[in-house]
Amino acid sequence: MESSLKFFNKKTASFGRHETFALRYSWLTKGFQAFHSDKAVFSSDKSTIELGVGKNMVNAIKYWLRATTMLTDDPVEGLKATSIGKAIFSEGGWDPYLEDEATLWLLHWLLATNCELASAWYWFFNRFHKAEFTGEEAAEALADFVRNNLSGKHSEKTVKHEIAMILRMYCPPKANSNAPLEDSLDAPLSSLKLVMAAEGSRLYRSYANAQPNLPISVIGYAVTEVFNQRRAEAMPINDLMYGQNNNVALGRMFRLTESALLAKLENLAQAYPAIFQINETAGINQLYRSDNSVASLDFLHHYYQAV
């Protein structure tokens, strides 16, 4: 089975393509359904009228649809809707108005694994290891990563600004925050509480925990994507936790502790025993997949059909 995941490539990383506009609740629904009606909507002279936003916001909506892989660039067809985009955001789709938190967890996964279009998100959730930090520390760490690991020229100002965008999107505002009210009410991923602002200081916190609201079906989708990407039949759980050689660190990305990831995988194996098993081989806990014919979307289909 094919995976939508791409391997990290130092030549294809990009920054600042969101026109400085953070993802808003209505944008994915509005943009996807407008695209479904008119494939040329984002290049049309009437795009601002059809989407009800300014030109820069039109570009931002298109970017966020691509960054979350609801739309993708096809060498033959050009911009096209993906299977997961159709499943979620089509009229009558699973959750077109983002009413289910599972969809937010899924969007987080899709965004933070997009190492080409959302390189800063990939770095922050997979490679940045500090649980407490200031915005300036994170920005400097990202700039160091870009200088030391990526090819091509990247504006340091643009790179550092990506951290402010991530914090704006993921962090619920402080009670005494000067952030615009509109931003605080219209930041869907902040409800996941993957990043929190410490009261009375400039610190932010991004701790690993049990993530009880993270559905097993989203874990099933993510794990299947990783197995498909690596064309693997077995994977050390430690590798799923921390990632190796710039691979996706599933545990880190969902901010799970080691014991929480193991518990999620055990629940996954219990729910789908014909597909996944956990066994110890040479002292190493590994997740095995005995049936590679099950598609990633099947796990999500089971979830949304049941709710």
Domain presence at residue 112? no
Domain presence at residue 45? no
Question: Residue 140: how many CA atoms within 13 Å on its side-chain side?
Answer: 6
Domain presence at residue 234? yes
Which helix (H) or strand (E) segment holds residue 221: the answer is helix 216-230
In sequence order, what are the beta bridge partners of 197? 204
List CB contacts of 99: < 8 A, sequence separation 6 or more. Answer: none
Domain presence at residue 290? yes
The CATH number for 266's domain is 1.10.10.10
Q: Which residues of 243-274 are buried (b: 16+ CB within 10 A; e: fewer)?
A: beeebbbbbbbbbbeeebbbebbeebbeebee
C-alpha triplet 121, 41, 72: angle, nearest 5°: 40
Tokens of 226: 């990783």
pLDDT at 226: 97
Contacts 24+ apart (CB under 8 A), 122-126: 122/8, 124/163, 124/166, 125/194, 125/252, 125/253, 125/255, 126/243, 126/248, 126/249, 126/252, 126/253
Domain presence at residue 277? yes
pLDDT band at residue 176 under the 50/70/90 scheme: very low
Q: Which residues of 37-63 are buried (b: 16+ CB within 10 A; e: fewer)?
A: eeeebbeeeebeebbebeeebbbbbbb
pLDDT at 279: 95
pLDDT band at residue 275 under the 50/70/90 scheme: very high
Tokens of 199: 């009261």
Coil vs helix vs strand at 282? coil
Which helix (H) or strand (E) segment holds residue 72: the answer is strand 71-74
By residue range, what is the domain housing residue 230?
216-306
How far, in Å, CA of 270 to CA of 257, rounded? 20
**pLDDT averaged over every residue in the chain:** 93
The values of phi and psi at residue 56, to 5°, are -65, -35
Q: Where are the alpha helices (DSSP H) in 90-215?
A: 101-112, 119-126, 135-149, 156-170, 181-185
Residue 66's identity, in one-letter code, is R
The pLDDT tens digits for 197-235 are 998 889 999 999 999 999 999 999 999 999 999 999 999
How far, in Å, CA of 201 to CA of 294, rounded? 47
The pLDDT tens digits for 121-147 are 999 999 999 999 999 999 999 999 999
Mean pLDDT of all residues in 177-193? 72
Domain presence at residue 13? no
pLDDT at 190: 96
Task: Express as a percent the part of the chain with pLDDT over 90.
Answer: 85
The total of structural domains in the chain comes to: 1
